[in-house]
Structure 1
């Protein structure tokens, strides 16, 4: 391919990592064929270094907050990275696919295919749904906005559907991850006899809005009460992702993450057996409590006794009982 055409193709692929790298590889190969080996090596080294050091960046500037949506949306700066979360192999595969689709969206649409952009996270509390939304937005390089449901629903019931429309309109214009936590508060089953008729109309509005929206980023809804959702909600989402409590191997991996920069006098991974049935939020509390005990006692190392005491406290907290396992 002529050099000019290659350079045009390179510039056109900017922002789509895989295409950009493929064209860059073509240019490097061409230089190698011309026996410009020093230049080819230099280009390849630069390309490899940029791939390793690349950090996610916002793909579009933030539009000014419209007054209409400002009361109901809050921007959150992601603090966690993919190294702070442990996911099942299935969920890792799904998220990798979603990120790849997003980056190759134009190619997919050119073939007349839809890009998945509406996600439903389901699972018990403390199992990583909110954290995953944060890490997902960081990996995509998109800003994260949290919907403030208390403000949304506490307004006059007759205005709730109008307020939801404002939020969806914002997501249509702004490339972002728009996160609805406790989504069941908005999309509760219309068959529930205890629900107010106005809330049924809100569900009808939600169904219409989700159907029609083609977000520039992602719409993510999360619920701990998947059984409470209206049956018609499920098919409106492009992907449903299930979060559960971690198994032994996932607990061990999580403990390695939490204690990787902490000096310890015991093997945290060996304590995984004590955390069977715990959620990630509970395990994190145990780890932080054990570390704080060492800090408060002015010790450099966290001891096994600190960890086991933290486990005892977590069991007491979750069960309201003083009776503890003899293992502790």
Structure 2
């Protein structure tokens, strides 16, 4: 959109906070894509400062009007974390840095006749950072994050689920954003699965067509804990598949240091790295939070090693119970 038209829309939207911010974000995005980083950073700081002073909106609203009722199936989420709150593998840091650079130089890449990666599949066990990374990724891009409500998307009426899926893809085609489909396996389950009925197989057929055709203005991100359940044809529809694994020793040590960064301790939390092998980030965070709460409850100014050991013991007990439940379900 021409700069003059954007400026006219910006002035016309004064007093309507969501619309005003959306147009301001488009102007900032244009400056980032032109590599005017200093100006873009200054504009973003000014916009964020103004937003902090203004009262928050009472209800979420679409940033750009669109014809379909996609708002029945998507919800805007404000990222609450920054890149300093996450620990990623070196490979994933390189991948995400490349994706951000591609997005900012998208016009140059397309003028060279090359594709820009915009459809991402996140795979890995629960608690390893897929959802958190999506929030931080959207924040780094300066794009609004919309989360698909999978439970509402899947309808009990024949034919409606495919129609609902079409609506969210139409939304992503028009709205520059990060559109996040968590628990993607609920939609893209293998058509060879004999336990699934014909309706869900038709949904997968439609889904494959929609992913093939969409050229999002931002990113389509799908995440699953059950990659082995996905239909084989799904994989090649995504520009990038990113794996989130449980942390190794180095990543666990970094994560512990991060969690106790502003907390006074009577011991070195990173000395317990060995006892946390095989734990997910979510499990380690739960241990850290529980240890810190023990000190708060007893009105102590520092976390003791015993607090941490008790929290680890609680997590072992929790894991043992979870394992028994899974065994019963199997």
Cα shift readout 1:52-81 (whole Å, capped 9, x = no counterpart): 9976979xx921365611111011110011
Q: Counterparts of 2:172 and 2:198 in 1: how far apart (Å)?
A: 27
Alignment partner for residue 32 of structure 2, among 4, 13, 16? 16
Q: How does 1:162-311 map onto structure 2 within 5 Å?
A: 162-311=163-312
Q: Counterparts of 2:77 and 2:294 in 1: how far apart (Å)?
A: 30
Cα shift readout 1:153-194 (whole Å, capped 9, x = no counterpart): 144242000000000000000010000001000000001111
| Structure 1 position 271, deviation (Å) | 1.2
* Cα 1:119–1:55 shift into 2, 3 Å: farther
Decide whether the 8 Å contact of 2:256 with 2:269 is kept in 1: yes
Decide whether the 8 Å contact of 1:57 with 1:142 is kept in 2: no
Decide whether the 8 Å contact of 1:126 with 1:279 is kept in 2: yes
Task: Select between 82-91 and 49-58 the one with higher mean Cα deviation.
Answer: 49-58
Decide whether the 8 Å contact of 1:56 with 1:141 is kept in 2: no
Partner residue, 2:134 = 133
| Structure 1 position 12, deviation (Å) | 12
Q: Counterparts of 1:249 and 1:52 in 2: how far apart (Å)?
A: 36
| Structure 1 position 16, deviation (Å) | 2.6
TM-score (norm 1): 0.81
* Cα 1:288–1:194 shift into 2, 3 Å: same
Any gaps of 5 or more consecutive residues in structure 2? 1-26, 49-61, 323-330
Q: Counterparts of 2:249 and 2:288 in 1: how far apart (Å)?
A: 16
| Structure 1 position 215, deviation (Å) | 0.3
Partner residue, 1:99 = 100
Decide whether the 8 Å contact of 2:265 with 2:304 is kept in 1: yes
Cα shift readout 1:174-218 (whole Å, capped 9, x = no counterpart): 010000001000000001111110000000000000000000000
Any gaps of 5 or more consecutive residues in structure 1? 1-10, 22-46, 322-328
Decide whether the 8 Å contact of 1:265 with 1:304 is kept in 2: yes
Q: Counterparts of 2:68 and 2:218 in 1: how far apart (Å)?
A: 21
Q: Counterparts of 2:166 and 2:200 in 1: how far apart (Å)?
A: 15
Decide whether the 8 Å contact of 1:57 with 1:141 is kept in 2: no
Partner residue, 2:17 = none
Say which one has the larger Rg: 1
Task: Select between 175-184 and 11-20 the one with higher mean Cα deviation.
Answer: 11-20
| Structure 1 position 14, deviation (Å) | 5.5
Decide whether the 8 Å contact of 1:290 with 1:302 is kept in 2: yes
Aligned with 1:120: secondary structure?
strand
- RMSD across aligned C-alpha pairs, in angstroms? 2.4
TM superposition outliers: structure 1 runs of 4+ over 3 Å? 11-14, 49-58, 64-67
| Structure 1 position 15, deviation (Å) | 1.5
Aligned length: 283
Q: Counterparts of 2:144 and 2:307 in 1: how far apart (Å)?
A: 38
Q: Counterparts of 2:34 and 2:170 in 1: how far apart (Å)?
A: 31
TM-score (norm 2): 0.81
Q: Counterparts of 1:205 and 1:120 in 2: how far apart (Å)?
A: 18
Partner residue, 2:124 = 123
Decide whether the 8 Å contact of 1:245 with 1:279 is kept in 2: yes
* Cα 1:234–1:18 shift into 2, 3 Å: same
